[in-house]
Amino acid sequence: MLQYAQTLPAIMRRLFQYLNPIAHLGHRNYSVLFPLLSTFFLAVFIDILVYRILADPSSAGLFAIALPLAFIIYFSFRDGITGGVISSVITILFYVYIVDVHPTPNQTEEQLTTQFITITALGTLYIFIALTIGWLKQTIDKLILQEADEKRRLQAILEQLPVGVLITNSRGQIIQGNKQVEVILGRKMNSELVVGKDTIPNAEKNHRSNSHISDKAVQASDWPLARALKTKKAVVGKEFIITHENGKKVHLQISASPIRSADGRVIAAASIIYDVTAQKELEARKDDFVNMASHELKTPITSLKLYMASLKSRFRKHQDEGIRKILKSIDYQMDKLQGLVSDLLDVSRIQTGKLMLNYEDFRLDNLVSETAESLQGTIKNHQIIIRKKSPVKVHADRFRIYQVLTNLITNAAKYSSDNKDIAIELRKDGNKVVVSVIDNGIGIDKDKQKKIFEKLYQVTDSKERTFPGLGMGLFISKEIISRHKGQIWVESEKGKGSIFSFSLPLPS
Ligand code: ADP
């Protein structure tokens, strides 16, 4: 009994599916038997109803036209032209049968001709209706099948991709995706993954700006797909960390963009999900290595510097000029080495979020003058000129700001040919102070200007490659300035020179 109770709704559902013409859209399994038998039994039913039960031939017109017409429309829509035509033909045969078997009393020859003309007219109308609706239904089927083929083709391509792909409709419901999404997200993909609902748990945004990670839980509306749909703009390379059910942490890089219709409406959005865990691990290992290496190098270099100092003092008055020169060059090279190691250490501190700042109040204009003066001692081929300055007090890390200034001035010298002046300007601008280092050197291409502040980035074209360096200076400077809530930027034209500027907020 229970089993029957369970199967009954299922049977009803299947029956409804079978009868519902909409459920047959996009299918080409047009039935012949169903319209044939149904219309035949309908004819038998009308015959019995009109001539035997009601025994009222005058009602034949109503039943014999309305009901078969409904059947013809239904079968044309359910089974295409075949269904509609079969239903029409049976109905016409039924009409002939009625005229033949149930003639009107005292029927004249003329009446009979009229009846056959009526049957012919009705038959033509029915066939016409069957053809029109059937053709419409078959065209819709074709379009639906074409779309399904298109989707299958796209799906086949999506499955080949090494990245996860999700496509949503305009409401953010996922309508297509590939297996990789499930692998990367570590969960089955179903309609549950609806953007806009808080359905992707354990996700943290990887705030890698300034290169140290501070994890935060992510709102569903923060997911790139949701953002792309909301803002109608592409979202590129956002990083997230998600935790799989087995506890495995996965780094994701997600991009998304809205898809527009021909008239510009946003009709969908597509997202690409990269699993960058392996890359991140490699990066972390490299960072660890740099960290370890720079620490290991620091100690012997410091000792060497000490030995060097004592050697230098011993040979200060040595009569052999050659020895004194050699010692001087060793000392110079060691200073360079010490600078490199200290940069490496800074990069590693930035990576791990351990770059500490010691704030103090000091006169920035004085620091600029002191730095320019001390660098002029080593930069022999360029004149460093302070063009503009006024007394400005700032609250900042003096040593780190000195480091930024040194980097900008030495770069200005390094990337300009000899005898070209380097100018420095300091000016107040509202509630901040701006320092600019201006050179007339080789300049930087527009498309490279943003990149030079990235870690280990160096402009490499045949000319610049001759300049030594590791591309750490500007990266460190940018980090120092942004930690001070300031900005650093460059204005430059290839071949003409560059203006590197940074701003610091003034104490309120
Ligand atoms: P490094 O100078 O050690 O290579 P930086 O981070 O200081 O590293 O600079 C990054 C890159 O930016 C340099 O390799 C150089 O191509 C470019 N650059 C920096 N300053 C200047 C400048 N004043 N003029 C032209 N190019 C510059």
DSSP calls for 1-67: -HHHHHHHHHHHHHHHHHH-GGGGTT-----SHHHHHHHHHHHHHHHIIIIIIS--GGGHHHHHHHH
In short, whether 442's Cβ falls inside 6 Å of ligand 1 is yes
Sequence-distant (6+) residues with CB within 8 A of 219 are 198
Single out the residue of 439, 365, 380, 363 nearest to residue 408, CA to CA. 439
120 three-class SS = helix
Q: How far is the CA of 408 from the centre of ligand 1 (A)?
A: 9
Q: What is the pLDDT of residues 245-257, one digit of tens each?
A: 888 889 999 999 9
Residues composing the chain: 508
In short, whether 347's Cβ falls inside 6 Å of ligand 1 is no
Burial class from Cβ neighbours inside 10 Å (0-12, 13-18, 19+) for residue 336 reads exposed
Q: Work out the mean pLDDT of the chain and round it to a whole number.
A: 88
Q: Flag whether pLDDT at 137 surpasses 80.
A: yes
More confident residue, 174 or 105: 174
Q: How far is the CA of 79 from the centre of ligand 1 (A)?
A: 74
Range with the lowest mean pLDDT among 35-44, 184-193, 324-333, 373-382?
184-193
Lookup: tokens for 51: 């001539």
Percentage of residues in the chain having pLDDT higher than 90: 60
Mean pLDDT of 489-501: 95
Mean pLDDT of 27-42: 94
Q: What is the DSSP string of 256-282?
A: EEEEE-TTS-EEEEEEEEEE-HHHHHH
Nearest alpha carbon, ligand 1 atom 11: 458
Sequence-distant (6+) residues with CB within 8 A of 188 are 182
Hey, which of 458, 463, 489 would you mutate to test ligand 1's pocket, going by the most ligand atoms within 8 Å of its Cβ? 458
Hey, which of 343, 407, 452, 455 would you mutate to test ligand 1's pocket, going by the most ligand atoms within 8 Å of its Cβ? 452
The reported pTM is 0.61
Max Cα–Cα distance, the chain, nearest Å: 153
Q: What angle do CA 337, 339, 340 make, to 5 degrees?
A: 65
Q: What is the pLDDT of residues 342-368, one digit of tens each?
A: 999 999 888 888 899 999 999 999 999
Q: How far is the CA of 366 from the centre of ligand 1 (A)?
A: 25
Single out the residue of 132, 176, 148, 136 nearest to residue 26, CA to CA. 148
Residue 189 identity: M
Lookup: tokens for 326: 């050699």
Residue 16 identity: F
CA gap 372, 352 in Å, rounded? 32
In short, whether 459's Cβ falls inside 6 Å of ligand 1 is yes
CB 350, CB 210: distance < 8 Å: yes
CA gap 84, 135 in Å, rounded? 10
Percentage of residues in the chain having pLDDT higher than 70: 91
Q: Flag whether pLDDT at 464 surpasses 60.
A: no
In short, whether 331's Cβ falls inside 6 Å of ligand 1 is no
- The residues facing 502 across adjacent strands are 435, 488
* Predicted pLDDT of residue 489: 97
* Predicted pLDDT of residue 288: 86
Q: What is the DSSP string of 411-451?
A: HHHHTS-TT--EEEEEEEETTEEEEEEEE-SS---GGGTTG
Q: How far is the CA of 343 from the centre of ligand 1 (A)?
A: 14
H helix intervals, 161-272: 179-185, 224-231
CB 375, CB 410: distance < 8 Å: yes
331 three-class SS = helix
